Amino acid sequence: MILTDRAGINIEYSEDGGFPRFVNSVAGKRIELLYDINTEPYAARMYEMLIAADCDVVEVEFPDEELLPTEDKCDFAGWAAKGCDYVLAVGSGTLNDMAKYIAFCEGVPSGVMATAASMDGYCSSGAALMRGGFKVTDSVRAPRDILIDPEIIRCAPRELTAAGFGDIIGKYTCLADWKLSNLINGEPIHTEAYSLMERALGACIEAYGGLTEYRADAIAELMDALITAGISMAMCGNSRPASGSEHHQSHFLEMDFARRGEPIPPHGIKVGIGTLVSLSIYKYIADHRVPCKNAEQVYALARSLPDEETVRDMLVGMGAPVRFSEIGVREETMRRMLFEAHTVRDRYTVLTLAAELGIMDDMIADIMEKYF
């Protein structure tokens, strides 16, 4: 077992399925246990641990195979959490966000037993929720505990691990977007958070060969990078170190899928393809020397990024799709995304620059050909 404390969070790795430090901290308390039909087997194991520690466990199981953090589901889980001392999710993105939100509303701590290296929000202080068909991010508290069984993570569905890798590969463009905003608008860069995320990205890329073989040590590097993303976000108080133009594309598409009542592909899968689109925009600006503020520095920034082909090959090697049509995105939706995704968040990215420069009409045929 490996115990670490990072940014005040207990990150507890188990080699035998147990989490003694966490269980001892909640012994005798009333715990809300959140899970869905996919994570029920792991929740059953956690339930037994909590009962053995004399906890009063309130179980909330969602029967959804594709769980959305909608208002009605959050309200139901929030009602069930009344009088609880702690909210524990067993799952990944949606369940983790719901647990953080409910715990914040109830004024109690939360935690998550991670079931996949699928996304970077495990220890962030934000909760992505659906309200009125729109995706919003509420400021909450980071979880107190993150519980990791490496064997569960390694054996997760490969699509989820590919999604986690897509979320990390997106740090190339999100960090570039942060620098771009600094060059264009003078937005300050939190040096420590930036460097922390950059190092974690580098370590994950170095482990790529092992990731394609699903080696435990490489999966651990991916999980660490995902956790680091949340810590870097907590450092600077927002999601800037981990979310840029590639995420805005994903958020735009998620809202469209939700409005249509269709299953939403994993977040990191969409982020991975969005990263390719953003790289394509950066390349166009540099190759065509499109005039803009601090142009030479912007061109140098664009040229510092990896080639689209390199990133595309890495995603393919992880079994991730590299065209939006492969995950059910409609052609018209993707076209609207290219022109409108920069409005999803009030944050300056290469999509914003493209809109300001009016160059999307010139790029769209090439982008659609490559990534639709």
Question: And the tokens for 221?
Answer: 């590097």
The per-residue pLDDT for 82 is 97
Measure Cα distances from 360 to 202, 271, 284, 368 in Å: 31, 19, 10, 11
CB 162 within 8 A of CB 131: no
**Least confident residue range of 49-53, 65-69, 356-360, 367-371:** 65-69
Same structural domain for residues 117 and 199? no
The residues, ordered by sequence, that sit 6+ positions from 308 with a Cβ below 8 Å of its Cβ are: 276, 279, 280, 283, 370
Same structural domain for residues 119 and 231? no
Output the DSSP codes for 301-361.
HHHTSPPHHHHHHHHHHTT---SGGGGT--HHHHHHHHHHGGGSSS---HHHHHHHHT-HH
Nearest to 71 by CA among 98, 53, 45, 52: 98
d(CA 201, CA 223): 11
| Distance from chain centroid for Cα 324 | 18
Judged against a pLDDT cut of 70, whether residue 6 lies above it is answered with no
Question: Residue 180 belongs to what domain range?
Answer: 158-371
Residues paired with residue 127 on neighbouring β-strands, in sequence order: 138
**Mean pLDDT of all residues belonging to the chain:** 93
The per-residue pLDDT for 186 is 97
Q: Which of 116, 133, 154 is the C-terminal boundary of a domain?
A: 154
Summarize pLDDT for 246-259 with one digit per residue, the tens: 999 999 999 899 88
- The H-or-E segment that residue 221 falls in is helix 216-236
SS3 134: strand
Q: What is the CA radius of gyration of the chain?
A: 20
Same structural domain for residues 287 and 360? yes
Count of residues in the chain: 372
Same structural domain for residues 128 and 25? yes
Same structural domain for residues 167 and 310? yes
Q: With cut-offs at 50, 70 and 90, classify the pLDDT of residue 337.
A: very high
CB 197 within 8 A of CB 228: yes
CB 302 within 8 A of CB 282: yes
Summarize pLDDT for 274-296 with one digit per residue, the tens: 999 999 999 999 999 999 999 99
Same structural domain for residues 95 and 175? no
Q: Which of 154, 187, 203 is the C-terminal boundary of a domain?
A: 154
Same structural domain for residues 198 and 260? yes
Same structural domain for residues 137 and 164? no
Q: Which of 154, 177, 193 is the C-terminal boundary of a domain?
A: 154
The per-residue pLDDT for 2 is 52
Q: With cut-offs at 50, 70 and 90, classify the pLDDT of residue 5.
A: low
Structural domain total, the chain: 2
Same structural domain for residues 43 and 133? yes
Summarize pLDDT for 25-84 with one digit per residue, the tens: 999 999 999 999 999 999 999 999 999 999 999 999 999 878 888 899 999 999 999 999
Q: Find the mean pLDDT for residues 184-194.
A: 97
Q: Is the pLDDT higher at 2 or at 192?
A: 192
State the CATH number of the domain containing residue 30.
Answer: 3.40.50.1970
Same structural domain for residues 216 and 245? yes
Nearest to 36 by CA among 1, 61, 19: 61
Q: What angle do CA 143, 347, 315 make, to 5 degrees?
A: 70
Summarize pLDDT for 92-150 with one digit per residue, the tens: 889 999 999 999 999 999 999 999 999 888 888 878 888 887 778 888 998 999 999 98
Q: With cut-offs at 50, 70 and 90, classify the pLDDT of residue 263.
A: confident
pTM of the model: 0.88
Same structural domain for residues 245 and 355? yes
SS3 243: coil
Same structural domain for residues 58 and 198? no
